[in-house]
Amino acid sequence: MTIQEIGVSVLLFIGVGITLICCVGLMVAPDTYDKLHFAGPVSSVAPVVMAGAVILEEALSQSGVKALLVAVALGVSGPVLTHATGRAARIREHGHFMALPEEMPAGATSPHPTEG
């Protein structure tokens, strides 16, 4: 087994490990917002590690470039989709996205324009 093969195996093991740990976290997390924290690494860290394994194996051939483009696309869209999902969950739960009175710091005024 060459150093390159060991590197590819290690990177794939790390990528699959991240994904499996996050899947378990998604199953045991108590609410939507906690689950979003487990979805983040799967869409940002794991693709980069797996793309690294492909590039280590294939160099920057057609497969390597495609893996890199997929990792970049997931790295850019993952956080945006996570934020949009969290925002949609909060709006569905509370009817708006503004801070609730109990979430405001002591002495702060209400974020709602109709309240004092």
Neighbours of 92 (CB within 10 A): 9
CB burial class (10 A; 0-12, 13-18, 19+) of residue 6? exposed
DSSP state of 59: T
Q: E strands of 1-116, at which residues?
A: none
Q: Is the pLDDT of residue 96 over 90?
A: no
* Angstrom distance (rounded) from CA 56 to CA 70: 16
Q: Is residue 29 part of a domain?
A: yes
Evaluate whether 64 touches 55 at the Cβ level (below 8 Å): yes
Q: Is residue 22 part of a domain?
A: yes
Q: How many residues does the chain have?
A: 116
Q: What total number of domains does the chain contain?
A: 1
Q: Is residue 78 part of a domain?
A: yes
| Low-confidence winner among 48-52, 57-61, 91-95 (lowest mean pLDDT) | 91-95
Neighbours of 11 (CB within 10 A): 20
Evaluate whether 75 touches 48 at the Cβ level (below 8 Å): yes
4-30 pLDDT, tens digit each:
999 999 999 999 999 999 999 999 999
Q: Is residue 82 part of a domain?
A: yes
Residue 63 is part of which domain span? 3-93
